[in-house]
Amino acid sequence: MTNQRFLSAVSNFLRFSVCAFLALGAVCLPAYAQDAAPAADQAKTPKKQIHVLRPRSGSAEWNRLRQPLERRTIEQSELTPVNTGSGIVYTCDANFASSAPAGTCEYLNTVIASYYNSTFTNANASIYLVFGSTGLGETNSYLNYLTYDQYLSGYNSITGKSAIQTSALSALGTYDATPYGSGQVGVTVALGSTLGYPASGFTGTTASGDFCTAGTEGCYDAVTTITNDPGTPLYYDNVGGAEPSDAYDFYSTVMHETDEVLGTSSCISTGNTPLADGCDGYGPDSSQVGTPSAVDLFRYSSAGHLVLDSSLSTTAGAYFSYNGGTTNGANGMGGTPKVYNTLDNGDDYADFVSSSPDCGTNEAVQDAEGCPGEDAGLNILNDGGAEINILNAVGFSVPAANPAPVLTSPTPSSTLSGASVTFTWTSVSGSAGYWLFLGTTGVGSKNLYDSNQQAATSATFNNLPTDGVTIYARVYTKNNGTLYYNDYTYTAAVKAPVLTSPAPGGTLTGTTATFTWTASGGQGYWLFVGTTGVGSKNIIDTGEQTATSATVSGLPSNGTKLYVRVYSRVNGTLYYNDYTYTSYMEPPVLTSPTPGSTLGGASETFTWSAASSGNQGYWLFLGTTGVGSKNLYDSGQQTATSTTFSGLPTNGVTIYARVYTRYNGVLVYNDYTYKAE
């Protein structure tokens, strides 16, 4: 599996005309002018952008024309700042909700949203999520415009500015005022509202991609599409188990797109030569050239030297800075400064250059490339803080110093001693009470325990799990009517054995598997494997044994869901953990012609073995352009185990054959080669 890149392209519009544009990027943002002047004097209407996360090896074939965009003129009065919002909200369409693992949408709106909602005081965005055809992830929304003075006015109105915002405001006045002061700045719906302007003055998008008035029912800041291509597998952190080597972290992808929806989206298009500013005016005679988005105001090549949208350069090393270029303000999780992609290579100009050895050592959510098998759990809180610094600099505020209680016992990040634990925290001056949450479903969860408001600085809970699961603890206080909290994690005590191999939640590789579990001090262990529900044992019940592994044969080979339970007996009491697997899925095997042989002519009948019961049909691909190609033949889905094709070449070329079957919607296959006559 190749790496994937996040890519953005801004569409170019001509005055009083429509245009098609290339879907190379992931935030599609239409916007209209946010000018204090009368509507007749508005210079710009909403502009649509798209940012797409695509395969690293993707070529121009990834480019695809979109339908022409309808231009519209929206009458605007002078905007009056007003700041309201409800945080990051993800809406999953019916197809998305039914296709993703159970609980995905809830996890997005609790754990993932909380990363933003607990980091920023004014990051509000409504994002509609669907599954569909795209590279990896794609977001469509509209880019709106403020005058430069309006942008600064909104920025000045931010109360309690952070040190980054104070430095950023000074840099804007020192370095950006001259090149950009008489023009406009492209802002997302979320950023425009954050700066104090009413949502009703901005353009959003409906679920179907039409423009609409932001803040109204059925109008979203963006529509984000996540790939449903079986060739681009996704990993879901909340499902558990190890991330497969060819899988990409679903939630990291969503966060990458969320950053774009909030304000990390550049106006620069890298999909053609030379680099182009997609936010420029209409036509080559326009005086509105070099129009930046908010993040473009903070791109430097060295201290004091902006990389202007009107004089773009492909020179490597451009970076984000909030203090006039003195400091590179974007680090990956390894602490190494990140730089922007500046090449006309079709990758997002506002994403960071990333390649080996960055994967696994210096990753960031906003990297232009995903890292298959390595990015599980990557988020804006643990990737070095690059996105937080950028979003803070463009206008999203972080809370002031946190007067939250601090958990002192048990030691944070430690393994708990058992099912009953007393949690103790520091007192906070002026506190109106405390709350303790304990949960297992993510940061801030309370599915185990909610202490409710109390005056005491400790609480005891007697029913903690004892299976080694991660326990999330959050301790709140209320101070002057505002809630403050700190988050911690613990490892539950282990009395029940924990299955370590095969990786829980995964797909088995054959009809025989050796299940291995941790020793838990028990006098004996049992392994149940079944197909009829949690705790079933219609395949095997090992009986009590002292060994910490058992080999099971005769497992199904058709993608059946397997239920596995491993018991331990400790001092006469039984403890157990439950797991699920997907059984091995047997692909068909080509038997004729003999794989690797030279074909007899232009017509051949290809025959394969029947797959396991429960398969949903077969496909045969024949091609000459590489493994899995089908430029010669695609049989389409069929139930027969053979097919004849009469259009084979007879010039001695290598012919690639792939035979598929499908179990429960999952495709499996074998690849073969032949030599043409």
| Confidence at residue 12, expressed as pLDDT on a 0 to 100 scale | 24
Q: Among residues 428, 380, 420, 404, which one has the least CA distance to residue 487? A: 404
Give exposure, 488-521, as e/b (b: 16+ Cβ within 10 Å). bebebbbbbbbbeebebebbbeeeebebbbeebe
- Per the structure, the complete domain to which residue 599 belongs is given by 590-675
Instruction: Report the mean per-residue pLDDT for the chain.
Output: 82
Task: Taking residues 33-59, report their average pLDDT.
Answer: 39
Q: pLDDT digits over 599-617, tens only?
A: 999 999 999 999 888 888 9
Residue 291 lies in a domain: yes
Q: Is the pLDDT of residue 459 over 80?
A: yes
Within this chain, do residues 470 and 508 fall inside the same structural domain, yes or no?
Answer: no
Residue 399 lies in a domain: no
Q: Is the pLDDT of residue 83 over 70?
A: no
Task: Name the least confident of 23-27, 610-614, 647-651.
Answer: 23-27
Q: What are phi and psi of 551, to 5 degrees?
A: -100, 130
Q: Is the pLDDT of residue 34 over 50?
A: no
Task: Taking residues 386-397, report their average pLDDT.
Answer: 95
Read off the tokens for 405.
Answer: 């209680």
Q: pLDDT digits over 48-75, tens only?
A: 555 555 434 333 332 222 222 222 222 2
Q: What are phi and psi of 560, to 5 degrees?
A: -65, 145
Q: How many domains does the chain have?
A: 4
Read off the tokens for 72.
Answer: 């519209």
Q: Is the pLDDT of residue 646 over 80?
A: yes
| Confidence at residue 356, expressed as pLDDT on a 0 to 100 scale | 65
Within this chain, do residues 319 and 210 fall inside the same structural domain, yes or no?
Answer: yes
Residue 192 lies in a domain: yes
Task: Taking residues 210-226, report their average pLDDT.
Answer: 92
> Taking the CA atoms of the chain, what radius of gyration do you get in angstroms?
28
Q: pLDDT digits over 321-345, tens only?
A: 999 999 999 998 888 899 998 888 7
Within this chain, do residues 257 and 175 fall inside the same structural domain, yes or no?
Answer: yes
Within this chain, do residues 71 and 171 fall inside the same structural domain, yes or no?
Answer: yes
Task: Taking residues 273-281, report their average pLDDT.
Answer: 78
pLDDT band at 570 (very low <50, low <70, confident <90, very high): confident
Task: Name the least confident of 332-346, 439-453, 496-510, 616-630.
Answer: 332-346
Q: Tell me the torsion sign for CA atoms 416, 418, 419, 421.
A: negative
pLDDT band at 3 (very low <50, low <70, confident <90, very high): very low
Within this chain, do residues 539 and 662 fall inside the same structural domain, yes or no?
Answer: no
Task: Taking residues 525-542, report their average pLDDT.
Answer: 94
Q: Is the pLDDT of residue 496 over 90?
A: no
Q: Model's pTM, two decimal places?
A: 0.55
Within this chain, do residues 417 and 561 fall inside the same structural domain, yes or no?
Answer: no
Distances in whole angstroms, Cα of residue 121 to Cα of each of 160, 388, 477, 655: 11, 12, 17, 59
Within this chain, do residues 363 and 385 fall inside the same structural domain, yes or no?
Answer: yes
User: Distance between CA atoms of 294 and 322, rounded to whole angstroms?
Assistant: 12
Q: Among residues 387, 103, 87, 390, which one has the least CA distance to residue 255? A: 387
Looking at 360, 393, 426, which one is the last position of a domain? 393
Within this chain, do residues 233 and 362 fall inside the same structural domain, yes or no?
Answer: yes
Read off the tokens for 357.
Answer: 């050895």
Distances in whole angstroms, Cα of residue 574 to Cα of each of 463, 495, 520, 522: 16, 9, 11, 9
Residue 474 belongs to a domain with what CATH number? 2.60.40.10
Residue 40 lies in a domain: yes
Looking at 458, 475, 491, which one is the last position of a domain? 491
Q: What percent of the chain has pLDDT over 70?
A: 84
Q: What H or E segment, with its residue span, contains residue 254?
A: helix 250-259
Q: What string of DSSP letters covers 556-586? A: -SB--EEEEEEEEEETTEEEEEEEEEE--BP
Residue 546 belongs to a domain with what CATH number? 2.60.40
Q: Is the pLDDT of residue 237 over 50?
A: yes
Looking at 491, 507, 525, which one is the last position of a domain? 491
Q: pLDDT digits over 288-304, tens only?
A: 578 899 999 999 999 99
Task: Taking residues 436-444, report their average pLDDT.
Answer: 93
| Confidence at residue 229, expressed as pLDDT on a 0 to 100 scale | 87
Residue 116 lies in a domain: no
Sequence-distant (6+) residues with CB within 8 A of 228 are 99, 131, 132, 133
Task: Name the least confident of 7-11, 203-207, 379-383, 612-616.
Answer: 7-11
Q: Tell me the torsion sign for CA atoms 611, 613, 615, 617.
A: positive
Task: Taking residues 556-571, report their average pLDDT.
Answer: 89
Q: Is the pLDDT of residue 111 over 50?
A: yes
Within this chain, do residues 377 and 241 fall inside the same structural domain, yes or no?
Answer: yes
pLDDT band at 402 (very low <50, low <70, confident <90, very high): low
Task: Taking residues 363-384, report their average pLDDT.
Answer: 87
| Confidence at residue 84, expressed as pLDDT on a 0 to 100 scale | 38
Task: Taking residues 142-169, report their average pLDDT.
Answer: 90
Task: Taking residues 214-242, report their average pLDDT.
Answer: 90
Task: Taking residues 154-165, report their average pLDDT.
Answer: 88
Which residues on neighbouring strands pair with residue 657, listed in sequence order?
622, 672
Sequence-distant (6+) residues with CB within 8 A of 201 are 34, 76, 79, 144, 192, 214
| Confidence at residue 119, expressed as pLDDT on a 0 to 100 scale | 87
Within this chain, do residues 421 and 452 fall inside the same structural domain, yes or no?
Answer: yes
Residue 269 lies in a domain: yes
Q: Is the pLDDT of residue 441 over 50?
A: yes
Residue 102 lies in a domain: no
> For the purposes of burial, counting CB atoms within 10 Å of the CB of 657, is it exposed (0-12), middle (13-18) or buried (19 or more)?
buried
User: Distance between CA atoms of 3 and 409, rounded to whole angstroms?
Assistant: 43
The arrangement of strands across the sheet holding 561-570 comes to 540-541, 524-530, 561-570, 573-582
Within this chain, do residues 321 and 252 fall inside the same structural domain, yes or no?
Answer: yes
Q: What string of DSSP letters covers 119-153? A: T-SS--EEEEEEEESSSSEEEEEEEEEEEHHHHHH
Residue 345 lies in a domain: yes
| Confidence at residue 51, expressed as pLDDT on a 0 to 100 scale | 57
Within this chain, do residues 625 and 564 fall inside the same structural domain, yes or no?
Answer: no
| Confidence at residue 42, expressed as pLDDT on a 0 to 100 scale | 27
Give exposure, 379-395, as e/b (b: 16+ Cβ within 10 Å). bbbebbbbbbbbbbbbb
| Confidence at residue 288, expressed as pLDDT on a 0 to 100 scale | 58
